[in-house]
Amino acid sequence: MAIGLNILVGYTGQISLGHAGFFATGAYSCVLLMVKAQVPFIIALPAAGLISALFGFLVGLPSLRLEGPYLAIATLGFGMAITQIISHSSFTGGHMGIEAPKMSVGSFVIDTPAEQYAVITIIAVILTVAALNLMKTRVGRAFVAIRDSEIAAEAMGINITWFKTLSFAVSAFYTGIGGALMAFALEHVSASSFNLILSITFLAMIVVGGLGSIMGSILGAALLTYLQIKLQIIQEAPVIGPLLLDISNMFFTPEGLPNIQSIVFGAIMIAIVIFEPLGMRGIYLRIKRYWKMWPF
C-alpha cells in the first residue's frame, strides 16, 4: 500500500522512514480488534485505518516544524518505538506475533486465496479511486502547494499546520489499511516484520513507481513485490543462475549468493532514479505517447 506514503512524500514532500510503524499499527489494531474485541471485519478494517491515522496525526504534530533529515529521524524513531513496544507487550503477542482471523463479510467467510485476492483488490481499487479524487480537489492541491512553497501556501490561506498533519494522517490511514490487509493475506502478524527495511522498501516502491503518482505507486509496489519473490530463486533461473554460481565460486562465496536480491534491488532503485526520474509512470507515459504517434 505504497499509495499512503506517496501522498506524504510525493505530494507534500515530507520524508518518512517510519511507515513500517503505521503498517504495524494498522495490522495489529485490526487483528486485535477482531480477536480481542470480536469486532467484525468490515468495521475493524476502517477502524484500523483510523487508529493508524490517529497515530499519524500524533507523529505529524512534531513534524510540522521539521523537514528533511530531521523529519526522517523523527519518523524513524516512531517506527522503531512502535515495533519495540509491540514486541515487548504480551497483549500484542510479543515477539511471536498473533494469528489473524479470516476475513468475513457478514456471515460470508473469505478463505480461499482467490477470494482473498478479490477482496483485497476491491478494497485497493476503492482506496485508489478515493486517493485519485482527493488529489484532484482542494485538499490534495493544498498538499502539493505545501511541498512547493510553504510561504506561498500560507499566503493562500492554507493552514499549513493543519494540512501537514492531515497529510500524515491520511498517509497513515492508507498505510494502516495496507497493513491490515497484509495481516489477512498472511494470516499472521509479527513485530519483527515491520522493520526499517520495510520502510525503505516502501520508499523504494513509490520512487520506482513514480513520485506524486498514484498509478505509479501501484505499479512500483507490484514490481518490487514480484521481484522480491522471484529473486530468491535466481540460482534456479536458466543461464543466469549457473553463471552467477560460477561468479560466486570464483570471486565471492556461493552461500552469499542470495544477497544478490539486495544488490538487484539497490541497482533497480538507482537505475530508476537515474534513467527515469518519473519512475514507471514515466515509462508508461512514454509508451502512451509513442502509441499516440503511431504509425508515424
Partner 1 sequence: MSFLAIKDLGISFGGLTALSSVSMNVEKGQIFSIIGPNGAGKTTIFNCISGIYRPKRGSILFQGQEMVGKKPYQAAKMGIARTFQNIELFSHLSTMDNLLLGRHMHMKSGILAGSTFLGRNFPAAREECLHRERVERIIEFLEIESARDMPVSALPYGTRKLVELGRALAMEPSLLLLDEPTAGMNQEEKRDMMFWIRDIRDDFDVTILMVEHDMNLVMEVSDEIFALNFGIKLVQGPPHVVRNDPGVLEAYLGRD
Partner 2 sequence: MQFFFDLLVGGLSMGACYALVALAMVIIYKTSEVPNFAQGEMAMLSTFVAYSLMSSYHVGFWTAIIATLLFALVLGFLLEIAFLRPAKDPTVLSLIVITLGAEMILYGLAGWKWGANQNPFQVPFSEYSGFRIGGVLITEINLWTFVTSLVIMLLLFLFFRYTKVGVAMKAVQQNAFAAKAMGIPTRRILTFTWGLSSVTGAVAGVLIAPIATLDTNMMMDPMLKGFAGAVLGGMTSLPGAALGGYLLGIIENCFGGYVSLEFKSVVAFGLIVLILCLKPTGLFVKHFERKV
Partner 3 sequence: ADKVRGVTDTEIFIGQWGPQTGPAALWGAVARGSGVYFDLINEEGGIHGRKIKYFLRDDSYNPMKTKAIAKEFLEEIGIFAVVGGVGTSTGMAVRDYLMENKVPWVGPPTGSTNWTVPMQKYLFALYPRYTDEAYVLTQYAVEKMGKKNIAFFYQNDDYGKEGLKGAKDYLEKKGMKIAAEVPVEPQDTDLKSHVLKLKESNADAVILWVLPKHAAIVLGTSMAAGFKPQWIACSTLSDSTLMHKVTKGLWEGVVYANFLDMESPLVKKYLEAQKKFAPKEQETGVFFVAGFLFAEPLVEGLRRAGKDLNPDSFVKAMESIQHWNDWLGYDCTFGPNERQGMKAVYLSKCGQGGKPEKISDWLKFDTAK
Residues in contact with partner 2 by the rule CB under 8 A: 9, 13, 15, 62, 65-70, 72-74, 76-78, 80-81, 84, 88, 151, 196, 200, 203-204, 207, 211, 248, 251-253, 255-257, 259-270, 273-274, 277
CA distance 281 to 211: 9
Three-class DSSP category at 104: strand
CA distance 237 to 174: 36
In 3D, which of 246, 116, 234, 243 has the Cα closest to residue 180?
116
Q: Which does residue 76 touch among partner 2, partner 1, partner 3, none (CB within 5 to 8 A, set by kind)?
A: partner 2
In whole angstroms, how close is the CB of 229 to partner 1 at the nearest point?
32
Q: Which is nearer to partner 2, 133 or 249 (CB)?
A: 249
Which of 38, 151, 157, 255 is the binder for partner 3 (CB under 8 A)?
Answer: 255
Q: Which is nearer to partner 3, 153 or 189 (CB)?
A: 189
Q: Which residues bind partner 1 (CB under 8 A)?
A: 129-131, 133-134, 136-142, 144-145, 147-149, 151-160, 166, 170
Instruction: Confirm or reject binding of residue 232 to partner 3 (CB under 8 A).
Output: yes
Grid cell 482473498 in the structure block, residue = 116
Instruction: Confirm or reject binding of residue 113 to partner 3 (CB under 8 A).
Output: yes
Instruction: Confirm or reject binding of residue 210 to partner 3 (CB under 8 A).
Output: no
Three-class DSSP category at 159: coil
Q: Please work out, in degrees rounded to the nearest 5, the angle formed at the alpha carbon of residue 18 by the alpha carbons of 279 and 131.
A: 50
Which of 95, 102, 136, 289 is the binder for partner 3 (CB under 8 A)?
Answer: 95
Three-class DSSP category at 131: helix
**How far is residue 282 CA from its own chain's centroid?**
20
In 3D, which of 44, 32, 69 has the Cα closest to residue 177?
44
CA distance 20 to 59: 13
CA distance 266 to 281: 19
Is 204:269 a contact under the CB 8 Å cutoff?
A: yes
Which x/- pattern over 118-147 shows residues binding partner 3 (rule: CB under 8 A)? ------------------------------
Q: Which does residue 137 touch among partner 2, partner 3, partner 1, none (CB within 5 to 8 A, set by kind)?
A: partner 1
Residue 296: exposed, middle, or buried by beta-carbon count in 10 A (0-12, 13-18, 19+)?
exposed
| Grid cell for residue 146 | 505545501
In whole angstroms, how close is the CB of 127 to partner 1 at the nearest point?
9
CA distance 233 to 226: 12
In whole angstroms, how close is the CB of 211 to partner 3 at the nearest point?
25
Q: Which is nearer to partner 3, 121 or 225 (CB)?
A: 225
Q: Which does residue 138 touch among partner 1, partner 3, partner 2, none (CB within 5 to 8 A, set by kind)?
A: partner 1
- Give me the residues that bind partner 3 (CB under 8 A), please: 84, 87-88, 94-97, 99, 113, 182, 186-188, 190, 192-193, 195, 197, 229, 232-233, 248-249, 253-255, 257-259, 261-262
